[in-house]
Amino acid sequence: MTTVIAVDPGFGNTKVCMDGRVSMLQSAVAEPREIGLATLGVKVHSDVRSVKFGGRTFGVGAYSWLWGAPRGSMDYTAIASPDRRALFYATLSDLLRPNSQIEDAVLIIGLPVPLLMDAEQAAHVKTGLKDLKRTHTFETSGCQFSVVITQIKALAQPVGAYMDWLYTDDLKPRPGGTQAEVAVMDIGMNTLDLYVLQGGQAVPRYIGGDKVGVRRLLELVHSNGRDLEEMDGDLRTGRLTPSAHDLDTWLSEILAVTERTWRSLKRFATVIPAGGGASVLGDRLKLALIAKGVAVSWPDDPVVVNVRGLWKFGARYASPR
């Protein structure tokens, strides 16, 4: 029996969906420093979740930056790197039984739109993804796992939000949804991805985006020497609260990029905001879109809507109905 695993390898969060269940982990990774007994007599600031494979150990998730220099990269080519595999393994393990094996898995992976618009760079990344089609053996939280990936299907990340909107949890299409012209506004850590589909087919005229994701908001805030991953962690926990001015400035940049690609948002049957940036902006974004006459379909959780929809696509792709 084929197992469908969907992954949205975001630069802010790594999301994995299997059997309709979603696991998420902050996309922070480091190789922990060996410090011997240097902490003798004092408590260590924070433990780190470790992932071991191929003779290497990685610390992943929140506070991994306290154990070594962050290895995160905003470069698209890093999607198939060992660092990203460590994040994928840790996130996937939360959906697996301890010490379990999967012998036949199809991997549905979402890729950023700006990457896919650069044909040469996209081809390079897709070539790297072929290395994922093999047996993956790894250890995390003291448990051993083995996953055999036999098929890989890559899609633009915003297609996931569309699929989640189009199909119910039991994979039935929304009445009238298949012919609707639907726009997805996906605000991730690194990029704003703009994507339009009608009848399940992409509309090239309305595909675009730029690097004005959450990272841009964090650039507007004084870092005080903190790494991007640390600032992102502070934003998630509420220790970092952007000012109204910073949020409005960021939103105006997002809307400017949007209006260059979508001159009139009223033409779409609905606009689906997605990604961590949509969650950060919340009502600011929703009200700005409504003010433009947009019919907004706000997901119950914009952060996971892409990976959930990618899984729905995969479930139908692996088991056509």
- CB 35 within 8 Å of CB 66: no
What pLDDT sits at residue 5? 98
Amino acid letter, 55: G
| 10-residue mean pLDDT series, the chain (321 residues) | 93 94 91 59 70 92 73 66 92 96 96 88 87 95 95 95 95 92 96 94 94 93 81 89 96 96 94 97 97 95 97 82 45
- In DSSP notation, 93-159 reads HTTS-TT-EEEEEEEEEEE-HHHHHSHHHHHHHHHHHGGGSSEEEEEETTEEEEEEEEEEEEEEHHH
What are the residues whose beta carbons fall under 8 Å from the beta carbon of 209, sequence distance 6 or more? 112, 113, 114, 117, 186, 191, 192, 193, 194, 257, 261
Distance CA 241, CA 237 (A): 9
What pLDDT sits at residue 321? 45
Classified by CATH at the fold level, domain 174-303 comes out as Nucleotidyltransferase; domain 5 (3.30.420)
What pTM does this model have? 0.91
Residue ranges of the domains in the chain?
A: 3-157+307-318, 174-303
Q: Which CATH architecture has domain 3-157+307-318?
A: 2-Layer Sandwich (3.30)
Same topology between domain 3-157+307-318 and domain 174-303: yes
